Structures are given as structure tokens and as C-alpha cells.
Amino acid sequence: MARPTIADIANRAGVSKGAVSFALNGRPGVSKETRARILEIAEQMSWRPHSAARALGASRVDSVGLVIARPARTLGVEPFFAHLFSGLQSGLSAHSISLQLLIVEDTEAEIEVYRRWSSEHRVDGVILVDLAVKDPRVEAVKALELPAVVIGGRGGKGALPSVWADDRDAMLSIVEYLAALGHRRIAHVAGTPNFQHTQRRIRAVRDAAPRLGLIDAPSLPTDFSDAEGAAITRKLLSQAVRPTAIVYDSDVMAVAGLGVAMEMGVAVPGELSVVAFDDSILTQLMHPALTALSRDTFDFGRQAAEVLLEVIADPTTVINRRTADPVLTVRESTAPPA
């Protein structure tokens, strides 16, 4: 017998298919003894449900999807997605739900994937990352009635369920720390302003500047690439009056910036303090090791998984779960200004 079906089990147990189904799914309709006997036989025949058959009858696939819209080249170096993925997986595996991953070029392609997944019944729900300001994906998944959870984007009115960390507070903690060290000229090498989280960080810097008595606190947008991170840094350090501290919106940009500082002979942290808004092995590999904001991305993923499961169970629920606050890990790249 290659692969037992519930019919085989029913046969062996001398009951009907229905009874077996009831027993295996722990629902009423069979006596305690019969249930035990069926479970025993199923175990013994090492039966496993055929996922497709189950998906066809009931309308769930026990699978959720994650689409990342970024050029593959830039992926991989950022541990963010790997950790997020692991966290999601860990939150899902407890419920035997699998996770589908797809990397696409842009948001348009991403929406096309949702459309396909939805119509082919390949996933029960999806996770949205990197939310933009007026993100078309929100409307798209709503129109498809595809359960979804937004990561990192705080849902506004009528918005999707979300899991988020307080970017604003996190950024404030960085700037306040630098100000406390004595820095007054702090530059912020930001990400793409189109992203909601980037906007929140930029706003945080702008709002805190007067209160902390900062003389100059520009936020400079980039595309998150190491190239632009390096270019902006070069520009900043070429000015007559240089910033004494730079906050980078990603670890990769921070590393690139550190490289530029070394190349230009600017001592870190002697003449320049460097902070990365995201932690990873990368920041620790550097010399000097970078002060960085650590977020528990794994836990982020796990919580997102939980929320998504709730949304799938009841699509009307809207949860906005706030995760643990990021903490600043101080290393060797920050010091009082000269």
C-alpha cells in the first residue's frame, strides 16, 4: 500500500469514511472508543492528509504567502527578510501551515501574484511588507478579499490589520542619545521617502531637532542601496562644516558610509559618530563595530503569523499589534564629538 487514504482506514476499522474524517479532525460524531481505534489505525498506517484533497473540500489551503518586491541583487545581504521569514515560518509551523515566498521586481508584479494566488486558491492569506504611502496593494488585496496583514506599516482608518514597531520612538532614542553625547550636527541618511516607515523616521528627526537644540539635522533620501549611501556620505563629509554624527536607515548603507569615512580619512568615532537603524552580523563585523538599533525581526515575523491566522479565521477582525520596542545597541562607532 503506497499511501493510505481515509477509505483504507475506514475499511480496516470497519466504519465509514465520514466517521474516520470526524475522528481525525476531533469533531463530534463518533464515540470515544471508535475515535481511539481509528486514530490508532491511522497512526499505524502512518496516514497523512492529502493536502490537495483537503484544500478542495474545505476552502483552505493551509498555506500563506509572502511576496518581496525588490531586485534580487540587493536581497540577501540584508538579514531582515531572512529573519522575518524564519519568524513567520515559526509562527505558522505550529499550525502546520506552509509559507510561500516569491521575489518579484516591482509592486505591479506583486499585485499580479496576489491576483493569481487568489484565483488559483494557492494561499489563504498574505503578508505585506515595505508599505508605501498610498500603497495600491492595500486596495488590491481588499478587492480580492484576500486576508492580509501589513508588517511595519501602521494601518490608518479602514486599513488592514498590522504588526508594527514604533519607528518614531526608535528614531527618537537614537537622536536623543547622540544629542546627549553632545552632537548638534546630525545627518540622517534616509531610505525611500515613499515608504511609510521612512517617512515616520524623517518626521521624528525633524520634530526632535528644535527640542534637542540641533543646529542642523537634514534627512537625505536614498534608494537604500550601498551606492547611494556612499555617495551621500561623500557629499556630507566634503562640506565645509561637516556633521559630527550620521544616522543611516539601514545597516548596509551604514557600512558603506563607514567605508567612505575611512577612505576620506575621517576618524570614526573620533571625528564622526555612525549609527545604523538596523542590526545584523554586518555591523558587528566592522572595525569599529557599529552602534545599531536592534529589532527583534524574528519575533516580528512570529507575531505577524499569529495575527494573520486570526484574520484568516475571521476576516472581519482588524488587529493592530505593536511589537517590542527596538533597542539601541551601543558599540564602538559612537562617541562625544571632538
Using CB under 8 A, list all residues that contact a second copy.
3, 46, 48-53, 55-56, 61, 72-83, 85-86, 89, 98-103, 116, 119-122, 226, 252, 255-256, 259, 262-263, 280-282, 284-287, 298
**Cβ-contact 318, 164 below 8 angstroms:** no
CB of 258 to a second copy, least distance (A): 9
Binding site partner of 89, from DNA, a second copy, none, Cβ cut-off 5-8 A by kind = a second copy
**291 backbone dihedrals φ, ψ, rounded to 5°:** -65, 130
Binding site partner of 133, from DNA, a second copy, none, Cβ cut-off 5-8 A by kind = none
Binding site partner of 157, from DNA, a second copy, none, Cβ cut-off 5-8 A by kind = none
Instruction: Closer to DNA by CB, 31 or 239: give it.
Output: 31
CB of 73 to a second copy, least distance (A): 8
What is d(CA 14, CA 23) in angstroms, rounded to the nearest whole number? Answer: 13
CB of 280 to a second copy, least distance (A): 6
What is d(CA 310, CA 306) in angstroms, rounded to the nearest whole number? Answer: 6
Instruction: Closer to a second copy by CB, 71 or 136: give it.
Output: 71
CA nearest to 320, candidates 333, 310, 332: 310
Binding site partner of 80, from a second copy, DNA, none, Cβ cut-off 5-8 A by kind = a second copy
Instruction: Closer to a second copy by CB, 55 or 212: give it.
Output: 55
CB of 125 to DNA, least distance (A): 18
Binding site partner of 15, from DNA, a second copy, none, Cβ cut-off 5-8 A by kind = DNA
Binding site partner of 22, from a second copy, DNA, none, Cβ cut-off 5-8 A by kind = DNA
Instruction: Closer to DNA by CB, 59 or 238: give it.
Output: 59
Gyration radius from the chain CA atoms: 25
Tell the residue number behind the cell numbers 517617512, with chain if given. Answer: 199
CB of 202 to DNA, least distance (A): 47
Q: What are the respective helix, strand and coil percentages of the chain, to the nearest 5?
A: 45, 15, 40
Instruction: Closer to a second copy by CB, 40 or 105: give it.
Output: 105
CB of 120 to a second copy, least distance (A): 5
Binding site partner of 240, from DNA, a second copy, none, Cβ cut-off 5-8 A by kind = none
What is d(CA 158, CA 81) in angstroms, rounded to the nearest whole number? Answer: 27
Residue 81 Cα to chain centre, angstroms: 6
Which residue spans within 176-262 are E strands per DSSP? 186-189, 219-220, 245-248
Binding site partner of 244, from DNA, a second copy, none, Cβ cut-off 5-8 A by kind = none
CB of 219 to a second copy, least distance (A): 23
3-state SS record for 35-104: HHHHHHHHHHCCCCCCHHHHHHHCCCCCEEEEEEECCHHHCCCCHHHHHHHHHHHHHHHCCCCEEEEEEE
Peptide bond into 269 cis (omega under 30): yes
Instruction: Closer to DNA by CB, 17 or 206: give it.
Output: 17
CB of 298 to a second copy, least distance (A): 7
Instruction: Closer to a second copy by CB, 226 or 306: give it.
Output: 226
Binding site partner of 43, from DNA, a second copy, none, Cβ cut-off 5-8 A by kind = none
Going from the C-alpha of 114 to that of each of 34, 108, 218, 229, the distances in angstroms are 43, 10, 38, 32
Using CB under 7 A, list all residues that contact DNA.
3, 5-7, 14-19, 21-22, 24-25, 27-35, 47-50, 53-54, 56-58
CB of 173 to a second copy, least distance (A): 24
Helix axes 17-24, 6-13, angle to 10 degrees: 110
**Cβ-contact 320, 139 below 8 angstroms:** no
